[in-house]
Amino acid sequence: SIAILLYLARKFKTPDHWYPSDLQKRARVDEYLSWQHVNIRGKGSKLFLTKVLLPLLTGQPLSPKKLEAVTEELNIVLKQFEEKFLQDKPFIAGSEVSLADLIALVELMQPVGAGYNLFEERPKLAEWRRRVEEAVGKQLFQEAHEGILNIQSL
- The domain locations on the chain are 1-6+26-153
Does residue 91 contact residue 97 with C-beta atoms inside 8 Å? Answer: yes
Task: Report the predicted TM-score, pTM, of the whole model to 2 decimal places.
Answer: 0.91
Q: Per residue in 35-74, pLDDT tens?
A: 999 999 999 999 999 998 888 889 888 889 999 999 999 9
CATH class of 1-6+26-153: mainly alpha
Interatomic CA distance for residues 87 and 81, integer angstroms? 8
Comparing C-alpha atoms, which of 77, 70, 35 is closest to residue 53?
70
Residue spans of alpha helices (H) in 53-122: 54-58, 64-80, 99-113
